[in-house]
Amino acid sequence: MVNKLGGMNGVKDFLSNKTQVLDVSQDVYFRVWKKINIGVHQNLDELYTSLIFPSLRIRSNMTHWGYDMDKIVFGTRPVLSPENKEVKLINTSPVGLGFKNRFFTTPSLGDVCNKAQRNGLLLCSEEMAFELTLQYKEREFKRIYIPTRKGVFDLSRSDKELYLSIYDQAPTTVYQKHDRFIFCLPG
- Percent of the chain predicted with pLDDT > 90: 42
Average pLDDT over residues 91-105: 81
Cα(169)–Cα(120) distance, rounded to whole angstroms? 22
Which residue, among 134, 131, 122, 124, has the nearest Cα to 38 in the 3D structure? Answer: 131
Strands (E), the chain: 34-38, 58-60, 85-92, 144-148, 151-157, 162-167, 180-184
Q: How would residue 72 be classed by pLDDT, with cut points 50, 70 and 90?
A: confident
Is residue 12 in a domain? no
Taking only the tens place, the pLDDT of each residue in 130-140 is 999 988 877 67
Give yes or no for a contact between 57 and 162, defined as CB atoms under 8 angstroms apart.
yes
Is residue 18 in a domain? no
**Quick one: how far is CA 174 from the chain centroid?**
13
Contacts of 135 (CB under 8 A, 6+ apart): 34, 36, 37
Average pLDDT over residues 100-111: 78
Is residue 1 in a domain? no
Average pLDDT over residues 152-170: 84
Is residue 64 in a domain? yes
pLDDT at 59 (0 to 100): 75
Average pLDDT over residues 29-51: 92
Contacts of 30 (CB under 8 A, 6+ apart): 90, 92, 96, 119, 121, 185
Is residue 4 in a domain? no
Name the domain count of the chain. 1
Is residue 14 in a domain? no
Q: Which residues pair with 87 in a beta bridge?
A: 36
Q: Which of 1-5, 12-16, 154-158, 173-177 has the lowest mean pLDDT?
A: 1-5
Task: Give the range of the structural domain holding residue 158, as residue numbers without chain letter.
Answer: 23-184
Is residue 10 in a domain? no
User: Would you say residue 122 has pLDDT above 60?
Assistant: yes
Average pLDDT over residues 62-67: 56
pLDDT at 126 (0 to 100): 96
Is residue 16 in a domain? no
